[in-house]
Structure 1
Amino acid sequence: MKSTKPTYTIGHRNPDTDSICSAIGYAHLKQKLGENVLPARAGKINAETKYVLEAFKMETPKLITDLYPRVKDVTLACNIVVKETDNLRRLGEVLRKHDMKSVPVVDSHNHLCGIVTVSDLAKRYFNELSMQNLAEANVSLKAIVEVVDGEIINQGDMSQTVKGNVRIGAGSRETVHKFIKSGDVVLIGDRKEAMYIVAQQDISCLIVTGDGEIPANVLELAEEKNLLVVSSPYDTYTCARLVNQCIPVSMIMQKNVTTFKPTDMLSDIKGTMQATQFRNYPVVENEKLIGIVSRDRLSIPEREKVILVDHNERSQAVEGIEEAKILEIIDHHRLGGIQTSDPIFTRQEPVGCTATIVANMHWHRDIEIPADIAGLLLSAIISDTVLFKSPTCTPYDKETAEKLAKIAGVDLNEHGMALLKAGSGIGDMTPMEIAKNDLKEFQIGDYRMIVSQISVMDTEEVLALKDELIACMNSICEAEGYNMSLLMVTDIIEEGTHLLFTGNPKTIIGEAFHQDASGNLIYLPGVMSRKKQIIPPMVEASKKDM
C-alpha cells in the first residue's frame, strides 16, 4: 500500500525569515511538480517573519519539534469495536467473525470504556455453575427477547429490567412456589400445566422453549397480569445459555486498560509493552479511541520524510533528524556533515539566501510563482542580505529580488525598510529570548559553540541589557554543554555588530578579530554576516589555538 504521509520541507531550529519562507516556497514548487509536500518549521517564528506572513496572508507552517517515531506513526485504524451495552452474544459473534482475541469497548460517544478478551468471555462460561442473577447486570426484558430470537406472544411491560434470576420451570406446584421468586425469568418446555402454575407467580417473563404450544388459559392469565410471554425456537438448555449471554459487555470487560497517546514516543512505550505483554493496545486522544497499536508493527515504523532547507548541519536540524529519511537539501551555507543512508538531491549555491535558489528553481522548471509566494521569497532575500547590505549578498540575489518584487507587486525598497523595521525592535522579548534569537550551533575546531544574532536599528536598547544577556548566555552554556555562546547585536543603520560573548577560550575571539577579548563585548564595524564574517575567522583562529 502506497504511503499517504507527506514529505515536509523544514528549516533549522530557531528559524529566521529565510528558513520559513524558503520552506513554504519549496513546498509550493514540489506540489506543482505533483508531489505530496508540505512546509513545516522547527521553532517559534520571530516578529519579522510574523510580519511577512501577515503581509502576504500566508498561514504559519506546521510546528514540528522533533522527528522521533511516535505511536501515531504505527497506529492502525480500529473499525471493529463493541459497545459497553452490547451483550455477550454480540461480543462472541464479533470475536468469531473477525478472528480476534480482544476488542476495545466504547460508549455511544466512542470514549474508551475498557477492553474485553476471549479469556474474559471464557471465564464467564467457566463460572456458570448455576443460572445467573440478571438483576445486578441491569438486563432489560427486550434484551432477553432478542438474545433467544423470541417471538412476543403477550407484550407485557417491555420497558422494565429483570429484577430476579433465570429459572427453569420444572417440578411440582410446591417446587415452583419454593424456587421461583418475584421478578424471575422462567424457561419452560411444552408442559401446559407447569406454564399455568408459573404464570400465576409474580415473574418478569415467561419463555416457552422449543416453540411449544401455549394454552389459552395461560394467555388469558398473562393478559390479566401484564406478563411478557415469549416463544423461542431453541430448547430449554440452549435458551438458558443464550439468556446468560444477554448481560452487557461492561460486566466482564477489563476497565484498567493500558493505553497510549498518539504523541507518545515509541522508545518510551517499549518498556510498558514488555511488562504487560499484550498483543494490541488502544490509542486514545481526549478519552476517545482513535486506533490501536500492535506489538508486531512496533519495530517497523514508517520514517518521516523531510527536505532540509537553509541548513545542512546536524546540530541545527530539528531533533530526531537521524530517525528521519532526508530526501533533499536546499541550502546556501557551508557543508556541515549530515550523513544520509542513500544518495540524495542537493542544491547548494554560494548566494546570500536560500530563497534565491528556490525562486530560480521555479523558473528553471517553468513553474510560475504566484504573487504571495513571490512576496515571501523576496522578503527572505531582503532579510538575509539586510536589504543587500550584507557581504553575503551577490548580484544574483539582487537580480532575483527585483524579479520577485515585480511579481509580488511591491516596491522593493519600501517593503524592505518596512520588513527590517518590523524585525528590528526587541518589543517584549525577554533577555533569554534575545540570547537565543536566530541561534545556530557550530563545531569550531574542538569547541562546540552557538552564535545568535539580532538585527536592530537601535543597538542601545539591547546593550542596556548586557549583564542580563551575559547571564542568560552563561546559563545556556551550562545547561547544554557549549564551550562558548556569542550574540551578534547587528546595527542595520550603521552596518556594524556589537559582539557579546561568554565561555572559553576567549583567545579565539581575540585571535579572530584582532581585539582585546578580556571582557564580554567588542565592536566589529562593517560586520553583518555570521556566515561570512564571524564563522570563517573563528575557524581559522581555532586552528592556531590547537
Structure 2
Amino acid sequence: MTLYVCGHRNPDADSILAAVATAELCRRTGHKAVACRAGAVPAEAAWALKRFGFSQPVLLEDARLSLREISLSPARSCRQTDTIFDALQSMNDPLRPYLGVTGGDGTLQGMVTRNDLSDIGMQDTALGIRLLQTARLEDIARTLSGTVAVHPDKPMHIDGRVSIVALSDHSVSRYEVKNRIVIVADSPEAQLRLIEQGAGLLILVWTDQVSAEVQQAAMEAGCPVVISGHGSMNTSRYLYFSVQIRHVMTPDPVTFHQDIYVQDAIREMRRHRFRAYPVVDEENRLQGFLETDAALNFQERRMIRVDHNEDGQAVRNGSLARVEAVIDHHRVGGFLSREPVFYRCEILGSTCTIVARLYLEAGIPLSGPMAGLLLSGMISDTLGFRSPTTTETDRQLAQYLAFTAGVDARELEQEILSRSGSSDLVQDLETDLKQFDIQGQDVRISQILTGALDRKDLGELQTAMEQYVQATGADLLVTAVTVLPLGGSCLLAAGDLASRLAEMTSSPSRVRLQEGLLSRKKQILPLVQAQLL
C-alpha cells in the first residue's frame, strides 16, 4: 500500500520540504510513497521547490480514505434494453451476483441482482405474466437461440400467458389461446388451428421449418412465429428470460459518490444491509461496486508524520490513519499508536536536518537538488541558524548540504528569508499555527514572520485573533509576531486565558519587542506553559 508522508496543519517550509524529501527517501528504499501537505504551501517553500526542481506535494484534507482511493469490485454492467438472459450471462461470477444498469454514456440508471431475477420464478405466475407482456419478438427469438420465421407488419399482441399444447387436433381445440404465447410442436394442422383461435405468438419446437400455409395464415392473422432452438421444457423456462432488464431492475439503488469516506459509507451501509453498492463519479458514471465485506475489512491510510507528532496538529482525522512512522523535533504531545512505529525525534533545529541524516545513515546518496531542498528547510526553520533551537549538528550538516548542492549558503539564506516576511499579519494568522493540549486546555500558538511592524498592524491582528477564538472555541490563542531585522518577537494573546499572560504580551497601545525570542518550540511554548500550569 501507499505511504502518505504529511506534515502538520498550516505547514511551514520545514514541514513541506521534509515531506517531499522523506517521500523520496521511501521510494529510494523500495516503498511506494506520496508527499502530502495539510494546508497551503508558504512562499519560501514554493520558491525552494521551484528552485531545485521539485513538484509541490498533493493536498490531503482528511486522513480517511475515500472510495476513490480503495480497490472496488469491477464496474460490471448491462443496458436497460438487455434481456434477463443477457444479464445472467454477464453475472457469471458467483461471488458477485449483481450488475449495474447503465446508459450509453455510462451513467448509472439502476441495478439488478440475481435475487431480483429469481423473483420471476419464485413468485406467483402473475408477475411472469405481467413481465412477458413487455417482451419483444427479437428478444424472444434470441433468448431461445432461435429465429423469427414469420414477422407480420402488425404489432404483436400477447397477454403474457403461456400455453404448451398437445399435438393432436382434438387437443388443440380444448385450449383457450387467444393472445397467448403458445409453444407447439411440428404439426402444421395444430399450428393452423392455434392461429385461427387467435394465438398471439407461436413458438415452434422440434422443427426447423414452417410450412408455407402456416406462414401465410400467420401473416394474415398478425401472429408472429418463432422457431426455438430448444425443446418444449427449456423453451418454456428460457422464455421468461427474454424480458428486458428495465422491467426488473431497481431504478434508484443506494449509491455512493467516489469521494465519500469509507467510514461514512459504512455507517450508511448499516442502515440498508445490501451486499454491494454502486459507486459513481460526479457525472453519475459507474466506477465500481463497494461490497460490504470489503468495506468492513478495509485498511486505513498508512501515514508518516513529519515535523509533528500530536493528533491535534495532524491532518483532519489523523487519529484514524495507521501511523507507520514519525520524524520530528518537537515535544512528544500525547502521541499514541495501535502498533509499533518507527519514531525518530531529535533535539535539532529542523526536521529537514533529521531527514538529511536518515539519507546518510541509509547510505542513500543525496543529489544536488535534494541537498539544496533540505538546506532550504533548515534555513527557514532556524531563521538562518539564528534561532536558539539551532545546534552544532545543524550548522555542520548545512555546510555539507551547501557543498553537495553547489550553492552559496548565505545567498540561499537571503532568498529564503526574504520570502518569509509577511506584509499582511491578519491574512497570515493561520498560516503557521499549531494546536497544543496543555492541562486539558485548547492552546494555539501562531508565528508570523515580518520585516516591519506598526501599531495599526497589531490592532488589526488583535481583532482578528479575538474573532478566531470566538469562531473556534479555543481557550487561548497566542501569536508571536517575529520581526526578522530586529531579531525578536512581540506576543499577543486572545481568549479566556489571555489575562494570565498579560505581563509578557503586547497590545496595540503597548508594543513590547522581546529580543532573541524566536523559537515557538524552545522559547514561546515553554513560556506559555509556565504561565498556565
TM-score interval for Structure 1 and Structure 2 normalised by the shorter chain: 0.7 to 0.9
Q: Which runs of structure 2 are paired with 1:255-294 in the superposition (5 Å)? A: 255-286=251-282, 287-294=284-291
Structure 1 CA distance for aligned equivalents of residues 341 and 92 of structure 2: 49
Structure 2 CA distance for aligned equivalents of residues 520 and 244 of structure 1: 88
**Alpha-carbon distance change, 465 to 180 in structure 1, aligned in 2, over 3 angstroms:** farther
Please, which of 223, 228, 233 is the counterpart of residue 232 of structure 1?
A: 228
Please, which of 122, 125, 141 is the counterpart of residue 145 of structure 1?
A: 141
Q: Indicate yes or no: 2:445 matched with 1:451.
A: yes
Please, which of 484, 504, 522 is the counterpart of residue 512 of structure 2?
A: 522
Name the residue aligned to 2:368.
371
The SS at the match of 2:255 is coil
**Alpha-carbon distance change, 203 to 420 in structure 1, aligned in 2, over 3 angstroms:** farther
Name the residue aligned to 1:538.
528
Deviates more, 1:219-228 or 1:189-198: 219-228
- Residue 120 of structure 2 contacts residue 127 of structure 2 at CA under 8 Å; is this kept in 1? no
Name the residue aligned to 1:23.
19
Q: Indicate yes or no: 2:403 matched with 1:409.
A: no
Deviates more, 1:73-82 or 1:491-500: 73-82
Q: Indicate yes or no: 2:383 matched with 1:393.
A: no
Name the residue aligned to 1:8.
4
Q: Percent identity?
A: 28
Tell me the amino acid that sits aligned with residue 471 of structure 2: A
- Residue 181 of structure 2 contacts residue 203 of structure 2 at CA under 8 Å; is this kept in 1? yes
Q: Indicate yes or no: 2:28 matched with 1:32.
A: yes
Deviates more, 1:338-347 or 1:262-271: 262-271
- State the Cα deviation string for residues 448-481 of structure 1 (Å, max 9, x = none): 3111112122334xx5343332232123223333
- State the Cα deviation string for residues 104-131 of structure 1 (Å, max 9, x = none): 3333443222222344323334343497
The SS at the match of 2:256 is coil
- Residue 211 of structure 1 contacts residue 234 of structure 1 at CA under 8 Å; is this kept in 2? no
Q: CA deviation at 1:271?
A: 4.5
**Alpha-carbon distance change, 161 to 65 in structure 1, aligned in 2, over 3 angstroms:** farther
Name the residue aligned to 2:495.
503
Q: CA deviation at 1:350?
A: 1.7
Q: CA deviation at 1:161?
A: 8.2
- Residue 449 of structure 2 contacts residue 483 of structure 2 at CA under 8 Å; is this kept in 1? yes
Q: CA deviation at 1:336?
A: 1.9
- Residue 75 of structure 2 contacts residue 287 of structure 2 at CA under 8 Å; is this kept in 1? no
**Alpha-carbon distance change, 288 to 510 in structure 1, aligned in 2, over 3 angstroms:** same
Tell me the amino acid that sits aligned with residue 297 of structure 2: I
**Alpha-carbon distance change, 517 to 420 in structure 1, aligned in 2, over 3 angstroms:** closer
**Alpha-carbon distance change, 342 to 185 in structure 1, aligned in 2, over 3 angstroms:** closer
Structure 2 CA distance for aligned equivalents of residues 520 and 58 of structure 1: 44
Q: CA deviation at 1:339?
A: 1.5
Tell me the amino acid that sits aligned with residue 337 of structure 1: G
Name the residue aligned to 2:352.
355
Tell me the amino acid that sits aligned with residue 315 of structure 1: G
- Residue 188 of structure 2 contacts residue 211 of structure 2 at CA under 8 Å; is this kept in 1? yes
Tell me the amino acid that sits aligned with residue 304 of structure 1: R
Q: CA deviation at 1:133?
A: 6.7
Name the residue aligned to 1:254.
250
Structure 1 CA distance for aligned equivalents of residues 260 and 511 of structure 2: 44
Please, which of 53, 57, 61 is the counterpart of residue 53 of structure 2?
A: 57
Q: Indicate yes or no: 2:470 matched with 1:478.
A: yes
Structure 1 CA distance for aligned equivalents of residues 69 and 298 of structure 2: 6
Name the residue aligned to 2:485.
493
The SS at the match of 1:416 is helix
Q: CA deviation at 1:47?
A: 2.3
The SS at the match of 2:388 is coil
Structure 1 CA distance for aligned equivalents of residues 492 and 229 of structure 2: 90
Q: CA deviation at 1:484?
A: 1.4
The SS at the match of 1:388 is coil
Tell me the amino acid that sits aligned with residue 443 of structure 1: D
Tell me the amino acid that sits aligned with residue 528 of structure 1: L
The SS at the match of 2:489 is strand
Q: Which runs of structure 2 are paired with 1:306-317 in the superposition (5 Å)? A: 306-317=303-314
**Alpha-carbon distance change, 407 to 220 in structure 1, aligned in 2, over 3 angstroms:** farther
- Residue 133 of structure 1 contacts residue 164 of structure 1 at CA under 8 Å; is this kept in 2? no
Name the residue aligned to 2:301.
304
- Residue 158 of structure 2 contacts residue 201 of structure 2 at CA under 8 Å; is this kept in 1? no
Q: CA deviation at 1:36?
A: 1.9
- State the Cα deviation string for residues 373-409 of structure 1 (Å, max 9, x = none): 2222121111111222222222322332233233333
Name the residue aligned to 1:382.
379
**Alpha-carbon distance change, 44 to 236 in structure 1, aligned in 2, over 3 angstroms:** same
The SS at the match of 1:210 is coil
Structure 2 CA distance for aligned equivalents of residues 33 and 157 of structure 1: 73
Two-structure CA RMSD over aligned residues (Å): 3.7
Structure 1 CA distance for aligned equivalents of residues 246 and 438 of structure 2: 63
Structure 2 CA distance for aligned equivalents of residues 28 and 114 of structure 1: 44
- Residue 499 of structure 1 contacts residue 521 of structure 1 at CA under 8 Å; is this kept in 2? no
Please, which of 82, 85, 89 is the counterpart of residue 89 of structure 1?
A: 85
Tell me the amino acid that sits aligned with residue 383 of structure 1: S
Q: Indicate yes or no: 2:322 matched with 1:330.
A: no
The SS at the match of 2:444 is strand
TM-score (norm 1): 0.83
**Alpha-carbon distance change, 190 to 391 in structure 1, aligned in 2, over 3 angstroms:** same
The SS at the match of 2:257 is coil
Which structure 1 residue ranges, 4+ long, deviate > 6 Å from structure 2? 133-136, 169-172, 197-205, 220-228, 515-520
Q: CA deviation at 1:7?
A: 1.2
Where does structure 2 lack aligned partners over 5 or more consecutive residues? none
Q: Indicate yes or no: 2:429 matched with 1:435.
A: yes
The SS at the match of 1:441 is strand
The SS at the match of 2:36 is strand
- State the Cα deviation string for residues 137-159 of structure 1 (Å, max 9, x = none): 4x5443222111114657x589x
- Residue 169 of structure 1 contacts residue 194 of structure 1 at CA under 8 Å; is this kept in 2? no
